Amino acid sequence: MKLSIIGVGAMGGAMLDGFLQSGKFQASDLSISNPHTERLAAYAEQGVKVDSDNRVAAAWGDIVFVVVKPWLVESVMEEIGDVLDSERQIVVVVAAGLKAEQLRSWVEYNGKCPSTFFALPNTAIAVGASMTFITRVCGTDASEELVKQAFDTAGDTLSVEVRQFGAGMALASCGIAYAMRYVRAATEGGVELGFKADVAKDIVLQTIKGAALLLQKSGANPEAEIDKVTTPGGFTIRGLNAMEKAGFTNAVIEGLKKSVEC
């Protein structure tokens, strides 16, 4: 499977790094294009096919990822539309806030529409740990499976309905920032409790990793794992109650809801 990535900014670069590090793709399986060629040199040295012309990359891949700002998607699709092969290629647009009918009208060329999907990975795709959502705009089950296989090499992938795309963005894409903010806050708390900042951060990261693995491997409800470490009158319940008094749970929920407001 050959992959083309149009746009090698923060997300496009993270996707490329994740695909390369997955071991499932060779550098020669990947083609990228970006107007700023200085970003391409390091990848060219690895053997990735690079070009400043989006049309070259678009014509090459079996799956063509368009990873640009939402307001640029229409112009990029106009630019590459006549070089896409609607019978062979799949188009995946990585951008939030667009409507399916918009995208369908932009990818159609001479009355034909390639298999087309929205996708929303998060930046953890760079280290093979993304939570990626995909939504079909047009296409077949077989083409959706190919898109899923590509993203599964660098994390977990979930097919969702269009109406769930915003919620997925809040939980997983914006969620990366929210998790980082917790790490920062807990690290600052650790410093106040007496640890050096880098030591506190390492403690917090290992604790989050452990909590995630406990839930993933057990399938338990988070509250069940909380109960295991919350003894009557103990330290943990005091801390939890203080956090709730300060609005912890409500702040998280309200932040997620705010993320999807238009």
The pLDDT of residue 115 is 92
Query: DSSP of 146-186, one letter per residue?
Result: HHHHHHHTTEEEEE--GGGHHHHIIIIIHHHHHHHHHHHHH
pLDDT digits (tens, 9 = 90+) for 164-210: 888 999 999 999 999 999 999 999 999 999 999 999 999 999 999 99
Q: Report the alpha-carbon distance of residue 88 to residue 175 in Å, rounded.
A: 35
Can you list the domains of the chain with their CATH numbers?
3-159 (3.40.50.720), 168-259 (1.10.3730.10)
The pLDDT of residue 165 is 87
Tell me: pLDDT of 55 over 70. yes
Residue 260: pLDDT band (50, 70, 90) is confident
Q: Of 34, 37, 113, 39, which is closest to residue 67 (Cα–Cα)?
A: 34
Q: What is the pTM (predicted TM-score) of this model?
A: 0.89
pLDDT digits (tens, 9 = 90+) for 226-243: 999 999 999 999 999 999
pLDDT digits (tens, 9 = 90+) for 144-168: 999 999 999 999 999 998 888 889 9
Residue 50, C-beta contacts closer than 8 angstroms, at least 6 positions apart: 31, 32, 33, 34, 37, 40, 41, 43, 44
Average pLDDT, the chain: 93
What's the residue count for the chain? 262
The pLDDT of residue 86 is 87
- Stretch 86-112: mean pLDDT: 87
Strand 63-66 to 49-51 pairing: unpaired
The pLDDT of residue 262 is 64
Tell me: pLDDT of 111 over 80. no
The pLDDT of residue 101 is 85
Q: Of 65, 66, 63, 31, which is closest to residue 48 (Cα–Cα)?
A: 31
